Structure 1
Amino acid sequence: MTSLKFADLAARIERFPIAGSFTISRGAKTEAVTVVAEVSRDGLTGRGECVPYPRYGETPETPEATLAAIQAMQQALADGLTRQALQAAMPPGAARNALDCALIDLEAKSAGLRAWNLLNRPTPGERISAYTISLGTPEAMAAATAKAAHRPLLKIKLGGDGDPERIAAVRKAAPESELIVDANEAWTEANLEHNLAACAAAGVTLVEQPLPSGKDEALARIRRPLAVCADESVHDRSSLAPLRERYDAVNIKLDKTGGLTEALAMADAAQALGFEIMIGCMVATSLSMAPAMLITPQARFVDLDGPLLLARDRDHGLRYDGSLVYPPDSSLWG
C-alpha cells in the first residue's frame, strides 16, 4: 500500500522577463514573478506555479508572503494532507493554487495517468488562445495590433478615457480578427453605454470587467449590446449566483479559485447557471497554463497566452503554433 506521507515540500520564487512590457489600466510591468511549489513522495515530484495578485484581494498578496504560506503547509503535507483536505485547510488564492496543482501532478505521476484521466475530465485538445494587446495610445495599439493581425483572436486592453478611439484603431489594424476587450474595471457608469456601443460598432465579441467589482450594478439596468464577462467580480463558486443579472460570462483563473480542483467545480457550476466560460491566466510560464488546459473543453474563450508575452519560457513549455496552444506533455505537468 502506498504511503500517504509526503517526504518533502520545496517552494521558491522565480522571475521571468517580459518581452517589452505589459500594460493594463492599473499599470505596467516588465517581469513575471511566480511562486513554484514542489511536493515529492517515493521519488516522484509534482509541481505547481502561481502568481499572487493584490487586486484580487487575497491574503497573502506578495510573492514573499505567498511563499511563506506555502512553506507553512510542510508539516500538514508530511502528516498526509490530501488535495481534498487542502481545500478547507487554505483559503482560495495563489498559494493554494500552487499546492493544489502540485498535488494533482503528483497524483497523476503516482497513478501513471494523465491528469485529465485521473480527474475523469475530457481530454483537452489544441485550442486557439487569445493574444493580448497592451494598453497604449490609439496609434501605439494600432501598430502592435498590425503585427498580430494574423492571429484569429486578440484580447485588447482598454483603460477608460479614449477607449472608443483605441478600439476603432485596433479594428482598422486587424479587420479579420475576432476581438475581445478587457477594461480592467476602468470604465464608469457615465461612459459605460458609450464605450459598449463603440465596442459593438467595432465588432467586439465580449467585454471583460468594464466596471469596478462591487460597483457593477449598472450592468443589470442597461441593455447590453454584446456579452459582458466578469473577472475581478468573480472568484470561486460562491460568487457566481449574484452575478447572473449583470454578466453573460465568467473568467475562471486558477490563481483566483485556489487551484484546478475548485476551477473545475466552478466551471461545472457556471455552465449550470448559463454562463459562458473564459479560461484566463496571469502573465506566467507554461507551468501555470498547463493545469488550466483542463478547463478548455468547457470554455468559449481561451486566454492562455502568458508564455507568449515572456522573453523566455521554462523548459518543456507548452507547444504554441501561432495562436494554437496544445495540451502539456507529462514532462511539464500532469
Structure 2
Amino acid sequence: MKLTSHPYTLELKHTFTIATNSRTTTPDVLVEFEHDGIVGYGEASMPPYLGETQESVLAFHRKIDWSRFSDPFCLQEILPAIDAIAPGNTAAKAAVDIALHDWMGRKLGAPWYRIWGLNPAKTPVTSFTIGLDTPEVVRAKTREAEPYRILKVKLGRGQETDRMMINTIREVTDKPITVDANQGWTNLEEALRMIEWLAERGIVFIEQPLPKTRLDETAWLRERSPLPLIADESLQRIGDVAGLRGAFDGINIKLMKCTGLREAHAMIQVARALGMKVMLGCMTETSCAISAAVQLSPLVDWADLDGAVLIRNDCFRGATIVDGKLTLPDRPGIGVEKIK
C-alpha cells in the first residue's frame, strides 16, 4: 500500500468573498493511493478557516504507517486508526478516506452509489454560489448561473449590503435562493428582522445566521424564524450532530470538515434519526472531492456541490451538472478520471 501526496493550488474564476474574507485561490493537496496495480484518487481542500495548510497535510500523511494494515478493504479499521494519529487535520484525513473509497470501488468494479444501494436518478439539484460583490458583478454572476435552478448567496456584511445582494439578484431572476450568513449576523433582533425580510423574497433557508457558539440564541431565533435554519460552522463531525437539534432544522455536511465519506454517511443516518434535514456542501474543490460527495447525494434534501465549477483548473473529470441537477457517471469508485 502506498500513498502519494502533492500540493496543488485551485485558481478561482472570480474573487470569492464571504462575511469574513476574500480570496482568489485555495490551497489543495491531491493524493493517490496505490495497491495491487490500482490507483484511487483523493483530495484535501483547505479554505482559511479550516486551519490546515499544504505543509500540515503532507506532514500528516507522512505519519501514516501503512505496514500496520494488511487489507485496504478494512475501512472500518484503517480510517479510525488514521483518525487517531492526531486531532484535527480533517481535510488531510478526508483525502485519505476519499482515495481509499475510490480504490475499493475500482477494485470491486462498482461506483459507491451502487455499493450503498442508492438510486442515481435521485440526486438533487445543486445550488450555484454567488459571493459578496458589487451590484454589477452580482448581476453578471447571476446571469452566469442561468443553467442552475437554485442560487446560494453569501451574506453577513451588514444589512445594507445584504439587502443590496438580494435586491440585485431579484433584478435578474426569480429563482429560489438559499442564504449563507457565515456567522455574520451578530445582533439577534436584527437577524430575525432580516430573516423575516428574506422570507418575503423567495428564500428557501438560512445557513449559520449567528456565530457558531451561540446555540441558545440560535434556538431562540429558530423558534421565531419563518425559514429553516441550517448548521454549517456549528457542525464539524458526527459528535456535534445531536447537540444541534433544537437550534437548527438541519445540518450541512462537508467532507473536508468531517474526515470524508465514511463519517459523512454516518452523519446522515444520525441526522435522519433525529428528524433533521440534511444538506451536502463543499469547499472550492476539484471534481475529485465533489464527485465523492455526489455519490452520497441521493440521501440528502439539498446540495451545494458547485465547488469544481468555481475553479478554472479542474484536473479531474467526474460528476457533472446537467440542467442544474447533479449527475453521476457510471464509473467505479467515486467516478473520476484524471485529465491533466
Q: Same fold (TM over 0.5)?
A: yes
Deviation (angstroms), 1:121: 3.3
Deviation (angstroms), 1:138: 4.3
Q: Tell me which moved more, 311-320 or 9-18.
A: 311-320
- Give the structure 2 partner of residue 249 of structure 1: 250
Deviation (angstroms), 1:141: 2.2
| Gap change, CA 1:329 and 1:11, over 3 Å in 2 | farther
- Give the structure 2 partner of residue 36 of structure 1: 30
Question: Conserved in 1, the CA contact under 8 Å of 2:218 and 2:248?
Answer: yes
Deviation (angstroms), 1:322: 4.1
Q: What is the SS of the residue equivalent to 1:22?
A: strand
Q: What percentage of aligned pairs have identical amino acids?
A: 33
Counterparts of residues 165-244 of structure 1 (less than 5 Å): 165-175=164-174, 177-190=175-188, 191-222=190-221, 223-244=224-245
- Give the structure 1 partner of residue 80 of structure 2: 87
Question: Conserved in 1, the CA contact under 8 Å of 2:39 and 2:103?
Answer: yes
Deviation (angstroms), 1:76: 4.7
1:231-270 CA-to-partner distances (Å, cap 9, x unmatched) read: 0101122101111111011001011110100000000111
User: Which amino acid is 1:71 matched to?
Assistant: R
User: Which amino acid is 2:232 matched to?
Assistant: D
Correspondence 1:69 to 2:60: yes
1:33-72 CA-to-partner distances (Å, cap 9, x unmatched) read: 2212211111001111121344246xxx112101211222
Correspondence 1:155 to 2:175: no
Question: Conserved in 1, the CA contact under 8 Å of 2:10 and 2:26?
Answer: yes
Q: Decide which of 97, 102, 112 is 2:99's aligned counterpart.
A: 102
Q: Tell me which moved more, 192-201 or 284-293.
A: 192-201
User: Which amino acid is 1:213 matched to?
Assistant: K
Please, what TM-score do these two structures have when normalized by structure 1?
0.89
Question: Conserved in 1, the CA contact under 8 Å of 2:294 and 2:319?
Answer: no
d(CA) in 2 for partners of 1:147, 1:229? 26
- Give the structure 2 partner of residue 3 of structure 1: none
- Give the structure 1 partner of residue 338 of structure 2: none
The gaps in structure 1 that reach 5 residues or longer are 1-5
Q: What is the SS of the residue equivalent to 1:66?
A: helix
Question: Conserved in 1, the CA contact under 8 Å of 2:112 and 2:332?
Answer: no
User: Which amino acid is 2:108 matched to?
Assistant: A
CA RMSD of aligned residues (A): 2.1
Instruction: Count the aligned residue pairs.
Output: 323
Question: Conserved in 2, the CA contact under 8 Å of 1:129 and 1:324?
Answer: yes
Counterparts of residues 112-131 of structure 1 (less than 5 Å): 112-118=109-115, 120-125=116-121, 126-131=123-128
The gaps in structure 2 that reach 5 residues or longer are 336-340
Q: What is the SS of the residue equivalent to 2:120?
A: coil
Stretches of 4+ aligned residues off by more than 4 angstroms: 76-81
- Give the structure 2 partner of residue 263 of structure 1: 264
| Gap change, CA 1:37 and 1:194, over 3 Å in 2 | same
| Gap change, CA 1:331 and 1:23, over 3 Å in 2 | farther
d(CA) in 1 for partners of 2:291, 2:270? 22
Please, what TM-score do these two structures have when normalized by structure 2?
0.88
Q: Tell me which moved more, 253-262 or 213-222.
A: 213-222
